[in-house]
Structure 1
Amino acid sequence: MSTIVKVLKDAGEFDRADRFYKDWCDGRVVLDDLDLDSLSVTATNGSRLMPISFKHFLSTELFKTGGRNILNSSNKEIGPQKPHLTSTFNTLIDLYGKARRLKDAAEVFADMLKSGVAMDTITFNTMIFICGSHGNLLEAESLLNKTEEKGISPDTKTYNILLSLYANSGNTDAALSCYRRIRDVGLFPDDVTHRALLGALCSKNMVQAVETLIDEMEKSSVSVDEHSLPSIFEMYVNEGALDKANDMLQKFLMNGVPSSSICAAIMDAFAEKGHWLEAENVFYWERGVPGQRRDAIEYNVLIKACGKGKLYNKVVSLFRGMKNHGTWPDGCTYNSLIQMLSGADLVDQARDLMVEMQGMAFKPHCQTFSAVIACYARLSQLSDAVSVYQEMLRAGVKPNEVVYGSLINGFAEYEYGSLEEALRYFNIMEECGLSANLVVLTSLLKSYCKVGNLEGVKAIYERMQNLEGGLDLVACNSMISLFADLGLVSEAKMAFENLREKGWTDGISYVTMMFLYKDVGRIDEAIEIAEEMRLLGLLRDCVSCNKVLVCYATHGQLYECGELIHDMISKKLLPNDGTFKVLFTVLKKGGFPIEAVVQLEGKPYARQAAITALYALVGMHNLALKSVQTFIESEVDLTPMHIMWQSMHTVWLEKSTRP
């Protein structure tokens, strides 16, 4: 019985194993339904052999274990019975653990206790693992204590199981404590111990603890297992300790080059952070076996690393050189390269590679087609985007929301008046059972806005509000902007107020509303928004500041313009061309002669003179004098300053002669 249950368990047939066990307990041995001839046996070298008769396999297993052959008859009535061997109970506990039936495993364990069947280390190891892997770590710890009550000595595997459970739960302190306990009880850590603990410590970037553990291993003449290397390198890269990573490389290379998969994993640790040169150094390590080829996975990772560094010519050259070095690109190579080139807008090369890929009998992934379509859409080459979409359908690859979203956005963003095309792909998407997300609906909204279809805008907006999770900040800002473009003040205000109530508003929300109020002549409300932006600290860039300056200038609040310019300079937000365009307008409004402003615009250091003039114009005299002093001490051409002072003299003279 134990052998049959074990065979079924190892084959993943948990329900059949459970049914056979319970039938056996009831006194019935039913083999007629055990038609598992489709199972193939795995040889010791890992290869899959031809399927054999299940009954023949069981007979062989029973013969090897010296068991009694009960297979001559398909059904036997034996009478009620219970297992009495430790190994049988262990098999049953493992069966229910693998089937994620914790309650049944616990019942078998309890039956074992009641029956007085001797437990062994395997029994407790299995139960500890089952309990811990189901999240019951306290129960797993209590089982460890129970081993002492039963006079059973835990082995290294027992502590390895607990250590791995602690590591998987993120409790590195408990994992370290478990590691120390192995030596405290007179046992020795093995490769599994070191791999599990190094993995746990590296995942938390605990550099000092990792290095201490490696030192302990070296003192015991234990080498770091190559499977731990990727985690160690990832930790060093995350901490920016590339020198230590290189030292570890050199130390490990003294014992030989790791396997291809480990080399690829180490390269990937560098690649993820954009360290393509370090990844390349690993790629070109001298191999221990002369003429040993690099696997496709190593090329794939180096291509990824160089792609992150935007070295696209190098990437293509590397790809073309693969065959010359005896390594053929696989589907992953083509897919990643096409997606990378598409992301860089090198769409012609990406398209050529897609044709080549299909000629090699590789089918592009959905993400690959999507990347090429999105690239064509970004470049306004919509006919090519549609062509790739049709090619995708012919290849039998089902488009996803990203594909349809790219097409819809392409027609909405780049083709004026193409609402019909955007709607066509939107309808196809829904007919395919794909749900529209915020990105897709926002794109469709743009199309409705471009043709001035107010009813369509409102319908899409309502649909966006009904989505699970509602609108996000980007969608809400898009809606405010779209309402503003259509001049729908009340709708824009309602969307803005809803956003403000949620505490989601940002600089974009405020600037959009401020300009909407300004454009419709509601200057007071525009100024209120501008003041609120300053109070909330939302003026963090020149673009936002410039827009507020426009509002102040429109409303004639020149002093506030001077204050904002001073704030910008204090925060090291250096005024740009847009700032000075507004500033020269402000000077004209303040009475500066137009010809003087024109003269200033064409002179070196005119911008510094314009700022000084603004300070003087609005009465911020201390700042104006300080600016002039800085100008004089700089020993530069003072012509702009002369123009400024002459203009200021004219302004003051006009003001003094007014009745």
Structure 2
Amino acid sequence: MSMRLCVFNLVFKTIQKPNLRSFSQPFASTALAHSAPPSFSDTTPSTPLSHPTTLQVLQTLQCLHHHPSLALSLLNHLHRTGFPHTLSTYAAITKLFAFWNLPRKLDSLFLHLITLSKHHHLSFHLLQLFEILFQDFDHHNHYLLRAFGGFVKTCVTLNMFDEAIDFLFQTRRRGIVPDVLTCNFLFNRLVEQGEVDKALAIFEQLKRFGFRPNCYSYAIVIKALCKKGDLRQPLCVFEEMERVGITPHSYCYAAYIEGFCNKHRSDLGYEVLQAFRKSNAPLEVYAYTAIVRGFCNEMKLDEAQAVFDDMERQGLVPDVFVYSALIQGYCKGHNLLKALALHDEMISRGVKTNCVIVSYILHCLEKMGMTLEVVDQFKELKESGMFLDGVAYNIVFDALFKLGKVEDAIEMSEDMKRRGVALDLKHYTTFIKGYCLQGDLVSGYRVFKEMSDEGFKPDIITYNVLATGLFRNGHACEALKLLDCLESQGVKPNSTTHKLIIEILCSVGKVLEAEAYFNSLEDKSIEIYSAMVNGYCEADLVKKAYEIFLKLSNQGDMANNTSCSKLITKLCMTGDIEKAKMLLERMLLSNAEPSKIMYSKVIASLCQTGDMKNARSLFDFLVNRGLIPNVIIYTIMINSYCRMNFLQEAHDLLQDMKRRGIKPNVITYTVLLDGNFKANLRRRVSRHGEGNKTSLKVSSILRDMEQMEINPDVVCYTVLIDGHMKIENFQEAVSLFDNMIDNGLEPDTVTYNALVSGLCRRGHMKKAIILLDEMYSKGMTPDACVISALKRGIVKARRVHFH
């Protein structure tokens, strides 16, 4: 009670009413806040309370030096009444916070002072404050080191690195060696912000001034050297640690190992880990996690799994971070079964899952086109009580829009807000994309405006999404207008924007403008080159598209697979097969694997020109690369062999595809049947009497079809009917026609033409005319050959009748 009276006596002494200047910015509330400040109004008059002098405040704070709770209450009161602090009062407050070891209060105080200083609202220079503190430090008040370190940390937090470094050297000139925690904080932030050289230089300079690094300091230096790309120098750091008697901790070794992984040399990182292990270096789970994550980033998932298994053999228990890294890797590789199995294993071992890990799984499901499963899995997780963050919600929003469940997406967004997760820029962008996907551009624009009204400035991704939506929904000009206003909105276009503009210009026929825009770009990404290739292809400027492709290829890069596929298609259509082959070769030289579709298009073009030698060579090359041709490629080859009367090669390919487990389809058998009929017809005409062989071969193919459970379709029946008619197997042809109808297949014009022509040739005019009437009743028109055959048949029948 006597202390409280002391305070009140000091504060409420009779004073002259001072000319108070208004305090332009209130003292940082976080620095003055007190959980339960005592009320002054109960014991003191209100008038003196609101006008204490600087001297009175200083005396009171001195009196409360050992009573922080009361002092904080006083400071809280001074803040509410707008007391105009001076250099002296700020110095006193700083000393108190340092003495009481209140780092957060110091941080808030320094943040407040720096803000005032930047806006020129401070009546003194900040260094004047520290001059007072330096003088007190000289009187052995070593607790002020906390204030010096606190100021450095505040500057570093604000990325004011130069100011922090200058202050460190000022303290050094005063004979003060900065504490190791402060320096480590500075070093680490410099490295994180990419100021690696500066961090290393300051480290060496401070060592010369008497700074004594600890194990964490050296770990940061190792991390900095690795980030710089110097993977040899860290070994010298380990040697220095040994010289000064500091035993490296596990995080020193982990930092070095992680350096290799960050440079995409996880294999070397693993070798280093094994070498450290042999020397009995302390290695913890994090070192293994770094390698697992590194291999996953390089998509070497088998190696990542092997390291994970090795870690367990060493007796280390996997934690959530190593599980997370491996699950993410499997999800990126679309190996969903492995990811789910690992997730189940993690939970069974008592390692708690989290929203980050389940987001990997949800994202994987979505990328694999399993949108319905995304929604079901999300609902299941939500019902289990798991906290789901904005990332997880964003994935389910996207899935719901793809499913056309717009109302569900809106309801889900309300649910997210009820659970305390606020909508951010990414969520708004997903909604814009979703509405555009549904063709609802009005709602897309409404969300675009709403996000701006909510204080979210659209970024380049948002603009790209909206422009793409406009373009895909047939509003190319509006999309261009939107992208034209980017600079006025302070948004810088990115590679996707440039690509989109080129695509839009080409789509509306403005190829020259697209070309000019392309040429105006200084930095052209692969996607931009690819967009120009696409644009030229769309405009049928195949030569120019190929030139762009070659230019990019000569630079050591490769257009994306979509562009290469479009270009190959166009080259094959225009008969530039040599260029198409060259494109495939360039892709292979760039380690870009052409797709089966690309190979099939070139093979088909070669077959079309009758170049079976090169077609077979490319076919065999495809097989040798481990890319098993699909049924389409096999059928193209078989058809071409049949057309060129190489029936043995065609039948050999049929057997080959069956050996490889590729099931022939009805088209495959149809081309084989057609080839056999035509080949045997040629032999029949030239040699006579080979009809037996024909029926044996055809019946063999039909038996094969039956065994494979492949039923003939309309085209196949037509080939059979036409073939039998041409070899004068009339009864079989008619039987096949009836069988076709019995099986529920409707004969088409070609089928009728084949049968009617055959009947006319054999003189069965009555049956032919019945079928012709049937054709007309079905709206079918016989071709010229049928009409001609019919006329000849009628004339022939009249002659027979006349004779």
- Structure 1 length-normalised TM: 0.57
2:64 is the counterpart of 1:124: yes
Matches of 1:327 and 1:122 in 2, distance apart? 53
Structure 1 330/417 Cα, relative in aligned 2: closer, same or farther at 3 Å? closer
Letter in 1 for 2:482: E
- The Cα of 1:379 is off from its aligned counterpart by 0.4
Superposed CA offset, 1:538-584 (max 9, x none): 8935654554455455545x4xx434543443343656243244246
- The Cα of 1:384 is off from its aligned counterpart by 0.7
Structure 1 439/137 Cα, relative in aligned 2: closer, same or farther at 3 Å? same
SS at structure 2 position matched to 1:540: coil
Query: Residue 473 of structure 2: which of 511, 517, 528 is its match?
Result: 517
Matches within 5 A, 1:485-500: 485=437, 488-489=438-439, 491-500=440-449
Superposed CA offset, 1:584-643 (max 9, x none): 654x6xxxxxxxx556666699999xxxxxxxxxxxxxxxxxxxxxxxxxxxxxxxxxxx
Matched with 2:381 is 429
Matches of 1:208 and 1:389 in 2, distance apart? 47
Question: Would you say the 8 A contact 2:327–2:339 is kept in 1?
Answer: yes
Matches of 1:515 and 1:327 in 2, distance apart? 59
Query: Residue 386 of structure 1: which of 340, 364, 383 is its match?
Result: 340
Matched with 2:200 is 245
Matched with 2:372 is 419
Structure 1 202/132 Cα, relative in aligned 2: closer, same or farther at 3 Å? same
Matched with 2:463 is 507
Matched with 2:324 is 370
Matches of 1:181 and 1:473 in 2, distance apart? 47
2:515 is the counterpart of 1:576: no
Matches within 5 A, 1:198-237: 198-201=149-152, 203-204=154-155, 205=160, 207=162, 210-211=165-166, 214=169, 217-218=172-173, 220=175, 222-234=176-188, 237=191
Matched with 2:37 is 103
- The Cα of 1:393 is off from its aligned counterpart by 1.6
Matches of 1:187 and 1:327 in 2, distance apart? 44
Matched with 2:395 is 443
Matches of 1:308 and 1:281 in 2, distance apart? 20
- The Cα of 1:407 is off from its aligned counterpart by 2.0
Query: Residue 161 of structure 1: which of 90, 99, 117 is its match?
Result: 99
Query: Residue 402 of structure 1: which of 356, 373, 380 is its match?
Result: 356
SS at structure 1 position matched to 2:37: helix
Matches within 5 A, 1:636-651: none
**Structure 1: stretches of 5+ with no match in the other structure:** 1-24, 26-81, 87-96, 111-118, 149-153, 519-524, 589-596, 609-659
Matched with 1:637 is none
Structure 1 247/380 Cα, relative in aligned 2: closer, same or farther at 3 Å? closer
Superposed CA offset, 1:151-192 (max 9, x none): xxx999758439965455323678743431145569436554
Letter in 1 for 2:327: I
Matches of 1:501 and 1:371 in 2, distance apart? 37
Structure 1 348/231 Cα, relative in aligned 2: closer, same or farther at 3 Å? same
Superposed CA offset, 1:485-509 (max 9, x none): 5xx32x3442233214534373323
2:417 is the counterpart of 1:462: no
SS at structure 2 position matched to 1:169: helix
Question: Would you say the 8 A contact 1:276–1:305 is kept in 2?
Answer: yes
Question: Would you say the 8 A contact 2:285–2:316 is kept in 1?
Answer: yes
Matched with 2:672 is none
Question: Would you say the 8 A contact 1:385–1:407 is kept in 2?
Answer: yes
Structure 1 218/267 Cα, relative in aligned 2: closer, same or farther at 3 Å? farther
- Structure 2 length-normalised TM: 0.48
Question: Would you say the 8 A contact 1:541–1:573 is kept in 2?
Answer: no
Q: Work out which of the two has the higher radius of gyration on C-alpha atoms and give 1 or 2.
A: 2
Structure 1 439/160 Cα, relative in aligned 2: closer, same or farther at 3 Å? closer
Matches of 1:158 and 1:346 in 2, distance apart? 56
Matches of 1:430 and 1:145 in 2, distance apart? 56
Matches of 2:530 and 2:244 in 1, distance apart? 63
Matched with 1:115 is none
Matches of 1:244 and 1:549 in 2, distance apart? 43
SS at structure 1 position matched to 2:64: helix
SS at structure 1 position matched to 2:256: helix
Matched with 1:177 is 128
Structure 1 568/240 Cα, relative in aligned 2: closer, same or farther at 3 Å? same
Structure 1 295/365 Cα, relative in aligned 2: closer, same or farther at 3 Å? same
Matched with 2:48 is none
Matches of 2:194 and 2:364 in 1, distance apart? 41
Structure 1 314/122 Cα, relative in aligned 2: closer, same or farther at 3 Å? farther
Matches of 2:340 and 2:239 in 1, distance apart? 42
Matches of 2:355 and 2:517 in 1, distance apart? 45
Superposed CA offset, 1:376-408 (max 9, x none): 111011111111011112101222222222222
Structure 1 83/329 Cα, relative in aligned 2: closer, same or farther at 3 Å? same
Structure 1 178/404 Cα, relative in aligned 2: closer, same or farther at 3 Å? same
2:426 is the counterpart of 1:474: yes
Matches of 1:431 and 1:347 in 2, distance apart? 32
Question: Would you say the 8 A contact 1:542–1:579 is kept in 2?
Answer: no
Matched with 1:301 is 255
Query: Residue 144 of structure 2: which of 193, 202, 208 is its match?
Result: 193
Question: Would you say the 8 A contact 1:168–1:200 is kept in 2?
Answer: no
Matches of 1:566 and 1:442 in 2, distance apart? 38
Matches of 2:522 and 2:129 in 1, distance apart? 54
Structure 1 533/155 Cα, relative in aligned 2: closer, same or farther at 3 Å? closer
Matches within 5 A, 1:74-113: 103=37
Query: Residue 345 of structure 1: which of 299, 306, 318 is its match?
Result: 299
Superposed CA offset, 1:7-33 (max 9, x none): xxxxxxxxxxxxxxxxxx9xxxxxxxx
**Structure 2: stretches of 5+ with no match in the other structure:** 7-30, 45-58, 118-124, 453-457, 553-803
Matched with 1:612 is none
Matched with 1:312 is 266
Letter in 1 for 2:280: G
Structure 1 122/288 Cα, relative in aligned 2: closer, same or farther at 3 Å? farther
2:489 is the counterpart of 1:534: no
Q: How many residues align?
A: 477
Matches of 2:161 and 2:336 in 1, distance apart? 51
Question: Would you say the 8 A contact 1:179–1:189 is kept in 2?
Answer: no
Matched with 2:512 is 562
SS at structure 2 position matched to 1:467: helix
SS at structure 1 position matched to 2:323: helix
Structure 1 169/331 Cα, relative in aligned 2: closer, same or farther at 3 Å? farther
